[in-house]
């Protein structure tokens, strides 16, 4: 019996088998026609009888052949409508069950709702219907496809009622698909299954940006596909998308200030994009402030282009403010809004650490910088938002750093290990550090304890000093590098008489800043010999800026120029920008926020955009209380309440990936190519599956071969009728003669 395949026949539409009765129609017609004729003897009868005796056998065979072909046409038509399929009797009689793995796309584009139900709801309904048609003893698993994917049911479950309940409770996310991670999850589920017969059903709209992301790791995907192929699963892709769907979205939202203080006016810049093939006119774009309706603009959107929309907003009160830019509703609601949490400060607190502190005016290292950041005679402008405190280098180790936003270290000679640890902790809380050079700086100490071969907080190594400040003969000019960096962006487009206050400042001596290989740090300004003058590096939380020369007039004339105050203010604001950036994350990204040591193990409650409350406790991150939250798969406003003993409430926002707003999809050939070398059954979900979801899970479907057989039989019937007609005509000719 080994190697013998025995099949059982089943029908997807068994009720239509009543149509088999139509096969009797040709026979009934034949019998009725026979009863119409009466036998009558006439003169020439003997000649006709002789001809009939001669051709009777051939004519009878011809009649039976035509009757058989016509009957088979009706039989095949009835069977095709009933959709028969073959399944191995061994799977039933020997207990060989099927393990069906449902991979349900839960990405943002699956929230598209063109009719009453979203694509995600359609996927759930179809999965439930396929589950209901499973045989007794079959098992199922569920994987929610996203970035990262979530294995809802991993081990094959034979309790299909519970599986159905899990499907009903699934909710879509607002992220995208990580194809590689999804396939690895499928591989793990199949690997853990002991059921030999396996089937994987992908239910997705096949949104191109998500599914083509796998092309970036095509080689690794190919290896995963080969491993899946070795397990011999039947793979079905149900495409729930529709080509040509159009959408518009808010794809960007930013504020033009790295730090915002009370009383400050800022510009809010939104980017609105149409993914339509035709222009859209009169699109309304509105700004909402803490849930209150704000100003509104009307724009025209060319196809495929992003259009900026600018709003002005004055922040009068300190605290967290939630700004939202919204469009009118369309079938994909999620991306019609984008949010920005702006923590508004009463003032910015800056600590200046002076490595050469002196009591005489403008003899200390920080005197020019303190005046530039907080002018004593300034009646208006940004200087009023910065509060400055100056301490000597010797007091750094005993000072609590948490209350400050930025620490500026000017010509500090060297750092003790405990000071380095305190600065690292300050950065992890989102603070900013600014380092200025000087004649007391020990390059060996900086490189050893601060840079640490690229592992430390200093983004550059200090090389030898360049130039001679004592002789002051040959100076170096500042190269603004096209004014690309935010600290000098305000000078872009200004007249030479204005920019000369920056570009004509002379530097006689500086530390050569050496960036490590593959460094992510940015050179904001350079000297005219090409060496970096100002370098910025953004870590996971805080920002570090290194200035190659001194903060006073010992090595450079820059503090004597008009450009020094505005550029230094921007340096400090840029260094403090980490606390604004940490409040706005991408959907699916983990949110991290540090709190003082007293908050370690404090209870925290996070309210998600859906209104769900999630409780937990702050962790301990090297002496700091750390809020680490990963359940950010929905776009919108999140609120975290911490305490006691610390009582803090903070807002943050998650925004979707703009790539998910493009509803362009991959087609059948793209699916086949993507899953190669796996053999994939592609099903258009909006058509074929809506009629017969059960056919997705069948093996050996026969309705298509039956339809092909009908066409062949009709052709054969026509040819036979023509041939037999000619034969009978010849017989009639004989009789006439």
Ordered DSSP codes for 466-507: EE-TTT--S-B-EE-GGG-STTTGGGTT--HHHHHHHHT--B
- Residue 23's pLDDT is what? 63
3-class state of residue 622 by DSSP: coil
Please, what are the domains in the chain? 7-83+704-736 (no CATH), 89-244+663-701 (3.40.50.410), 248-345 (2.60.40.10), 401-581 (3.40.50.880), 586-655 (2.60.40)
Give me the sign of the Cα torsion angle 114, 665, 183, 676: positive
What SS3 class is residue 453?
A: helix
CA separation for the pair 609, 324 (Å, rounded): 14
**Nearest by Cα to 557 from 491, 510, 492:** 510
Q: Which pLDDT value is given to residue 341?
A: 95
The residue to which tokens 């090409």 are assigned? 530
Q: What is the CB neighbour count within 10 angstroms for residue 691?
A: 10
CA distances from 601 to 65, 424, 441, 595, 640 (A): 88, 21, 40, 11, 15
As to burial, measured by CB atoms within 10 angstroms (0-12 exposed, 13-18 middle, 19+ buried), residue 1 is: exposed
**Percent share of the chain, pLDDT over 90:** 51
Residue 213's pLDDT is 58
Q: Using omega within 30 degrees of 0 as the cis cutoff, is the peptide bond preceding 144 cis?
A: no
Comparing 337-351, 456-470, 621-635, 719-733, which segment has the lowest mean pLDDT?
719-733
Bridge pairing between strands 432-436 and 543-547: parallel
Give the containing element (helix H, strand E) for 461. Answer: strand 461-467
pLDDT digits (tens, 9 = 90+) for 135-171: 888 999 999 998 889 999 999 999 999 999 999 999 9
Instruction: Identify which of 196, 5, 14, 12 has the alpha carbon closest to the alpha carbon of residue 89.
Output: 5
Please tell me the least confidently modeled range out of 287-291, 453-457, 580-584: 580-584
Nearest to 672 by CA among 663, 664, 681: 681
pLDDT tens readout for residues 530-557:
999 999 998 767 899 999 999 999 999 9
Give the angle subtended at the CA of 117 by the CAs of 111 and 123, to the nearest 5°.
70
Least confident of 63-72, 379-388, 636-645: 379-388
The pLDDT of residue 491 is: 92
- For the ranges 287-296, 676-685, 719-728, which has the lowest average pLDDT? 719-728
- Predicted confidence (pLDDT) per residue in 586-636, tens digit: 999 999 888 888 888 899 999 999 999 999 999 988 777 889 999 999 999
Give the residue from 660, 11, 1, 627 showing the smallest Cα distance to 335.
Answer: 660
Say what the pLDDT of residue 88 is.
Answer: 43
Handedness of CA 540, 542, 546, 547 (dihedral sign): positive
Q: How far, in Å, CA of 18 to CA of 81, rounded?
A: 10
DSSP state of 135: P
With b for 16 or more beta-carbon neighbours within 10 A and e for fewer, the 598-615 pattern comes to ebbebebebebbeeeeee
Please report the pLDDT score of residue 654 as a whole number: 96
**What pLDDT, on a 0 to 100 scale, did the predictor assign at position 70?**
79
Tokens at 161, concatenated: 């009622």
pLDDT at 737 exceeding the cut of 70: no
Average pLDDT of the chain? 85
| DSSP helix/strand/coil, 454 | helix
Distance CA 81, CA 691 (A): 12
Most confident of 93-102, 602-611, 678-687: 602-611
- Cβ atoms of 593 and 106 closer than 8 Å: no
- Using 50, 70 and 90 to split pLDDT, how confident is the model at 37? low
Three-state DSSP state, 516: coil
What is the reported pLDDT for 380? 46
**Overall average pLDDT of the 390-408 stretch:** 91
Q: What is the pLDDT of residue 559?
A: 95
519: number of Cβ within 10 Å: 14
3-state secondary structure of 250: strand
| Contact (CB, 8 A) for 293 and 328 | no
Top pLDDT among 261 and 41 is at 261
- Report the range of poorest mean pLDDT among 17-31, 566-580, 703-717: 17-31
DSSP string, 401-438: -TT-SEEEEES-----HHHHHHHHHHHHTT-EEEEE--
pLDDT (tens digit, 9 = 90+) per residue, 468-485? 888 777 789 999 999 999
In this predicted structure, the answer to whether residue 28 has a pLDDT above a threshold of 50 is yes
For tokens 């000597």, the residue is 392
pLDDT at 384: 65
pLDDT at residue number 52? 60
Give the end-to-end CA distance of the chain in Å, rounded to a whole number: 65
pLDDT band at 6 (very low <50, low <70, confident <90, very high): very low
Q: Which residue has the higher pLDDT, 37 or 609?
A: 609
Tell me what pLDDT residue 282 has: 93
Q: Are 193 and 199 within 8 A, CB to CB? A: no
| Minimum mean pLDDT range among 77-86, 280-289, 317-326 | 77-86
Taking alpha carbons only, the member of 55, 63, 69 closest to residue 31 is: 63
* Res. 648: pLDDT tops 80: yes
pLDDT at 506: 94
Both tokens of 534, joined, read: 């100002």
Q: Are 510 and 531 in contact (CB under 8 A)?
A: yes
Task: Kindly report, residue by residue over 256-287, the tens digit of the pLDDT.
Answer: 888 888 888 999 999 999 998 899 999 999 99
Q: Which comes out higher in pLDDT, residue 97 or 535?
A: 535
For residues 579 and 405, is the Cβ–Cβ distance under 8 A?
Answer: yes
Q: How, if at all, do strands 248-255 and 264-274 pair? A: antiparallel
pLDDT, one tens digit per residue, over 169-214 is 999 999 988 888 999 999 999 999 988 889 999 999 999 887 775 5
């Amino acid at each position: 019996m080994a190697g013998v395949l025995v099949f059982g026949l089943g029908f997807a539409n068994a009720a239509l088998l009543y149509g088999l009765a139509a096969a009797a129609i040709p026979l009934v017609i034949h019998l009725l026609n026979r009863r119409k004729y009466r036998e009558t003897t006439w003169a020439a009868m003997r000649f006709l009888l002789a001809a009939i005796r001669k051709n009777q056998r051939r004519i009878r065979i011809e009649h039976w052949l035509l009757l058989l072909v016509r009957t088979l046409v009706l039989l095949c038509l009835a069977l095709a409508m009933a959709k028969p399929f073959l399944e191995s009797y061994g799977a039933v009689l020997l207990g060989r069950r099927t393990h069906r793995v449902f991979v349900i796309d839960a990405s943002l584009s699956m929230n598209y709702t063109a009719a009453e139900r979203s694509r995600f709801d359609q996927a759930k309904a179809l999965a439930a219907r396929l589950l209901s048609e499973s045989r007794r003893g079959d098992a199922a698993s569920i994987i929610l496809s996203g970035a990262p994917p979530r294995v809802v049911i991993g081990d094959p479950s034979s309790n299909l009622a519970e599986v159905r309940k899990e499907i009903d409770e699934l909710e879509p996310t607002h992220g995208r698909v990580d194809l590689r991670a999804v396939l690895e999850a499928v591989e793990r589920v199949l690997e853990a299954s002991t059921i030999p017969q396996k089937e994987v059903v992908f239910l997705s709209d096949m949104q191109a940006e998500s599914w083509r992301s796998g092309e970036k790791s095509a080689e690794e995907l190919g290896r995963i596909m080969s491993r899946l192929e070795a397990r011999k699963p039947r793979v079905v892709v149900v495409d729930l998308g529709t080509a040509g769907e159009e959408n518009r979205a808010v794809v960007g939202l930013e504020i033009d200030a790295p730090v915002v203080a009370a009383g400050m006016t800022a510009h809010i810049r939104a980017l609105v994009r149409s993914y339509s093939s035709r222009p859209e006119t009169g699109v309304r774009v509105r700004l909402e402030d803490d849930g209150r309706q704000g100003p509104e603009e009307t724009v025209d959107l060319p196809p495929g282009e992003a259009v900026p929309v600018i709003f002005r907003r004055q922040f009068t009160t300190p605290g967290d403010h939630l700004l939202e830019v919204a469009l009118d509703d369309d079938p994909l609601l999620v991306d019609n809004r984008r949010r920005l949490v702006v923590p508004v400060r009463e003032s910015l607190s800056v600590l200046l650490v002076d490595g050469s502190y002196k009591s005489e005016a403008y003899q200390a290292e920080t005197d020019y910088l303190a005046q530039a950041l907080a002018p004593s005679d300034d009646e208006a402008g940004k200087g009023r938002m910065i509060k400055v405190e100056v301490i000597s280098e010797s007091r750094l180790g005993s000072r609590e750093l948490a209350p400050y936003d930025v620490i500026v270290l000017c010509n500090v000679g060297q750092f003790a290990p405990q000071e380095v640890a305190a600065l690292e902790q300050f950065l992890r809380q989102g603070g900013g550090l600014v380092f200025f050079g000087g004649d007391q700086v020990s390059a060996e100490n900086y490189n050893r304890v601060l840079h640490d071969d690229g592992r430390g907080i200093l983004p550059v190594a200090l090389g030898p000093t360049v130039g001679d400040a004592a002789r002051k003969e040959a100076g170096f000019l500042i190269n603004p590098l096209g004014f690309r960096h935010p600290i000098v962006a305000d000078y872009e487009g200004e007249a030479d008489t204005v920019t000369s206050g920056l570009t004509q400042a002379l530097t006689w001596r500086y530390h050569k800043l050496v960036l490590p290989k593959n460094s992510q740090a940015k050179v904001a300004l350079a000297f005219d010999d090409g060496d970096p003058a100002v370098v910025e590096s953004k870590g996971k939380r805080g920002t570090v800026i290194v200035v190659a020369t001194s903060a006073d007039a010992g090595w450079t004339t820059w503090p004597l120029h008009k450009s020094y105050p505005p550029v230094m203010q921007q340096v400090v604001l840029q260094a403090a920008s980490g606390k604004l950036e940490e409040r706005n994350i991408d959907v699916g990204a983990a949110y991290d926020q540090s709190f003082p040591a007293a908050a370690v193990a404090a209870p925290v409650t996070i309210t998600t955009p859906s209104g769900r409350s999630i409780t937990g406790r702050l962790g301990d991150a090297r002496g700091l209380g750390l809020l680490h939250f990963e359940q950010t798969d929905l776009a919108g406003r999140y609120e975290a309440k911490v305490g006691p003993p610390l009582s803090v409430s903070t807002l943050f926002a998650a925004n979707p990936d703009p790539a998910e707003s493009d509803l362009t999809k991959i087609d059948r050939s793209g699916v086949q190519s993507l899953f190669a070398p796996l053999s994939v059954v592609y099903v258009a979900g909006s058509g074929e599956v809506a009629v017969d979801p059960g056919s997705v899970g069948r093996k050996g479907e026969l309705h298509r071969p039956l339809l092909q057989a009908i066409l062949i039989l009709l052709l054969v019937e026509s040819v036979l009728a023509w041939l037999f007609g000619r034969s009978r005509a010849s017989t009639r000719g004989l009789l006439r003669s």
